[in-house]
Amino acid sequence: MSHEPEDRPVPQSPRDLELRVNPIACDAHGVCIELLPELIVADPWGYPLIRPGPVPLRLQALARRAVADCPTLALLLAERPAGRPEAARRQVRPNR
Amino acid sequence: MTTQNARPTASAIQPPGPGDLRLIVRDQPMSLAAHVAHYGPVPLHAARPSALIAEVERAGLTGRGGAAFPTGRKLRAVATANSGRSTAVVVANGSESEPASSKDAVLLTRSPHLVLDGVALAAEAIGAARAYLCVAARGSLVQSLADALAERDRARLAHVPIEVIGGPDGYLPGQETALVSVLNGGRPMPSFVPPRPSDKGVRRQPTLVLNVETLAQVALIARYGAAWFRSVGSDASPGSALVTVSGGVGRPGVREIPLGTPLGEVLRRSGLSSPAQAVLTGGYFGAWLPLPAAFGVPVSAPGLRAAGASLGAGVLAVLPDTACGLAETARVTGYLASQSAGQCGPCRNGMPALAEAMNWIAFGQPDTDVIRWARQVTELITGRGACHLPDGAAGLVTTALAVFSAELRAHARAGPCERTRRPAVLPIPQLSS
Ligand SMILES: Cc1cc2nc3c(=O)[nH]c(=O)nc-3n(C[C@H](O)[C@H](O)[C@H](O)COP(=O)(O)O)c2cc1C
Ligand code: SF4
């Protein structure tokens, strides 16, 4: 669990952004899965599974579009916390 | 740290020595008078209350509610969010939703004033205006704590107002954002973070949520200092902690241990005699460790983490040789699935799927596909809920499949043996729906 302040500085490089799902808001509409199959796939129940790691620069525009088009606004493009290992398995930081 | 509302002189009080119990020193509820006679007066109204935060940081205290988060850092985060105002709120978490744990109830019953001291001191340190102490509505704690607060009023012990709240039953109400939701008049359901309670919690004010044992430790650090705190335990994991030992031991119950004590020693002190095959550590969102192989594992957050387990809420539930670990795990997984708030898709779908798979593994004749599916579901739900409930269930099942691999093969070959029909070792709360 991390307690770093949420108002971190503006990201300096494209490596700093990652996709996150608010699992409470997500209703498995699947819009993001259609828009961004490179980074988002459906789990067996239709909910989005996000490829771990930073959003590549070439996909950032699409990622922003997916965020804007989610009917329940459940997809977030957030700054990657510093020091997160490259291949982190978790896309969300659940609260304990 | 000095005190102004002293009655007995502080110098007359000896801090507990290295071999002495710190947190629960009587087997009866301790009155305020007995409490002050034993520990010395409450060091409230310090010249610089925020100095306590640095002292807690130096002590290296970590949270006893499950996540072992550094308490000093949490205090500082809320104090910072509260700076310039004094609207922060302290929430003392005594919900103890963990069915195999009773340390918080025993602490609140026997040493209520140590916890209340901790609430008052933490509130003073971060500049909070009010505090809530949340316990299960069921039971006698709401009344006994109200009595303890009345005792403090009569003694004119002035501090932040503390309100005792009786919360609902169940596994989720103890989760911090669920607790905040209840205090805001909502349902006991976790919420998505951010915002964290430390930024926006009760009435959207910076909110410090700490476990009641953590707060009792804060009260001791305020009195005797960080060096005293660190004089027991290990460097990596200083201080003492309460554990609840249950299952196949002769003397089950709550005990205080120096952190880092080898698991085998803790279990032997609790009267482990007959052969045991495993121990569930942390709680129902915890991990199985094999016995006697894990006897040398230090009981501390880092020690257990290195062994693939967790200290969690301090649960140590021993599985005797006569029980079936797969059946125990299946029952607990079913319970955890029943406790899902159903808010998050992966949890709503994955928890019942995991419980079904575990049931088949324990009580059916599992083929490799079922076992593979169970493993896949653990991966599919990990990290994908708003709270840690699915992660906990995944960890429990993953460690069960590893620790009970011989049973797994036997079930696959010949179905469940008669041990699955023995009475359950791990208690499953009556499900109220
Ligand atoms: C499902 C769930 C149930 C929890 N139940 C409790 C509980 O009953 N008591 C508790 O102190 N912490 C509980 N926690 C942990 C709290 O969310 C929180 O981390 C803790 O109270 C913080 O206190 P600490 O820093 O002193 O450990 C629970 C967490 C989860 C995910
Ligand atoms: S993970 Fe499960 S229990 Fe936790 S908030 Fe989501 S649905 Fe509720």
B92 and B174, same structural domain? yes
Helices (H), B382-425: 389-403, 405-414
The residue from B320, B349, B370 where one domain ends is B320
- Which position has the token pair 């108002």? A7
| The two structure tokens encoding residue B284 | 């129902």
Looking at residue A83, its pLDDT comes to 55
Interfacial A residues in 31-50 facing B (CB < 8 Å): 43-47, 49
Residue B403 included in any domain:
yes
C-alpha B382 – ligand 2 centre gap (Å): 11
Minimum Cα–Cα distance from A89: chain B residue: B383
Q: Give the position of tokens 């041990």.
A: B419
CA distance B310 to chain A (A): 13
Low-confidence ranges of chain B (pLDDT < 50): 1-7, 433
Q: Is residue B432 part of a domain?
A: no
pLDDT of residue B141: 97
Q: Pocket of ligand 1, candidates B71, B93, B106: which has the most ligand atoms within 8 Å of its Cβ, to mutate?
A: B93
* pLDDT attached to residue B11: 57
B88 and B155 housed in the same domain: yes
Atom of ligand 1 nearest to the CA of A1: 19
Extract the tokens encoding B242. Answer: 């309460």
Instruction: Tell whether B169 and B287 lie within a shared domain.
Output: no
What ipTM does the predicted assembly reach?
0.84
B216 lines ligand 1 (CB under 6 A): no
B356 assigned to some structural domain: yes
Residues B248 and B178 in one domain: no
d(CA B371, CA B204): 45
Is B6 inside a domain boundary? no
- Do B62 and B178 have their domain in common? yes
Q: Are residues B303 and B337 in the same domain?
A: no
3-state secondary structure of B246: strand
Domain assignment present for B144: yes
The verdict on a CB contact (< 8 Å) between A23 and B346 is: yes
In a domain, residue B18? The reply is no
User: Sheet harboring B287-290: ordered strands across?
Assistant: B253-258, B240-247, B315-320, B276-282, B287-290
Predicted local confidence at residue B9, as pLDDT: 52
Q: How far is the CA of B62 from the centre of ligand 2 (A)?
A: 25
Residue in chain A closest to B194 (alpha carbons) equals: A6
Tell which of B297, B320, B343 closes a domain: B320
DSSP annotation of B418 reads: G
Ligand 2 in reach of B386 Cβ (< 6 A): yes
**Candidates A3, A45, A47; nearest CB to B198:** A3
Of A5, A23, A46, the CB nearest to B384: A23
Q: What is the pLDDT of residue A82?
A: 64
Residue B406: what residue type?
A
For chain A, the maximum distance between any two Cα atoms, rounded to a whole number of angstroms, is 37
Query: Which chain B positions have a beta carbon within 8 Å of A6's beta carbon?
Result: 194-196, 199
Check residue A8 and give its pLDDT: 46
> Model's pTM, two decimal places?
0.90
In this structure, the answer to whether residues B307 and B330 fall within a common structural domain is no
| Closest atom, ligand 2, to C-alpha of B342 | 7
Q: Which atom of ligand 2 is nearest to the CA of A94?
A: 1
In this prediction, residue B241 carries a pLDDT of 98
Task: Return the residue matching tokens 């349902």.
Answer: B187
- B189 and B43 assigned to the same domain: yes
CA distance B360 to chain A (A): 20
Residues B174 and B66 in one domain: yes
In a domain? residue B25? no
Q: For residue range B98-120, what is the model confidence (pLDDT) as tens digits?
A: 999 999 999 999 999 999 999 99
Report the CATH number at residue B268: 3.10.20.600
Both B198 and B310 in one domain: the answer is: no
Q: How far is B2 from chain A (nearest CA, A)?
A: 31
Ligand nearest, relative to CA of residue B95: 1
pLDDT at A79 over 90: no
Which residue ranges make up each domain of chain A? 15-92
Residues of A in contact with B345 (CB under 8 A): 23, 26-28, 45-47
Question: What chain A residue is nearest to B210 in terms of C-alpha separation?
Answer: A96
Dist. CA B260–CA B157, nearest whole Å = 36
Number of cross-chain residue pairs from A and B with Cβ atoms under 8 Å apart: 87
Identify from B192, B284, B382, B388 which residue to disrupt to test chain A contact, counting A C-beta atoms within 10 A and taking the largest count: B192
Distance CA B317, CA B68 (A): 19
- Which residues have C-beta within 8 Å of that of residue B28, sequence separation ≥ 6? B110
Give the atom of ligand 1 at the shortest distance from the alpha carbon of B389. 1
Compute CA distances B136 → A80, A86, B170, B283, B299, whole Å.
Answer: 38, 42, 9, 18, 27
Cβ(B389) – ligand 2 distance below 6 Å: yes
- Is B394 inside a domain boundary? yes
Number of domain units in chain B: 3
Q: Residue B95's domain is classified under what CATH number?
A: 3.40.50.11540
For ligand 1, atom 12, the nearest C-alpha belongs to B65
Structural domain ending residue among the three candidates B206, B229, B252 = B229
Task: State the CB neighbour count (10 A cutoff) for residue B26.
Answer: 13
- What pLDDT, on a 0 to 100 scale, did the predictor assign at position A7? 45
pLDDT above 90 for A89: no
CB contact under 8 Å between B345 and A6, yes or no, is no
Nearest chain B residue (CA) to A27? B345
CB B69 near ligand 1, within 6 Å: yes
B192 and A22: CB-CB below 8 Å? yes
Domain with B168 in it: 32-229
Query: What is the CATH topology of the domain spanning A15-92?
Result: Alpha-Beta Plaits (3.30.70)
- Cβ contact A44–B380 (<8 Å): yes
A30 by DSSP, 3-state: which? Answer: coil
Comparing C-alpha atoms, which of B209, B211, B208 is closest to residue B242?
B211
Is B295 in the same domain as B329? no
Closest residue by Cα to atom 28, ligand 1, is: B175
Q: Are residues B266 and B383 in the same domain?
A: no
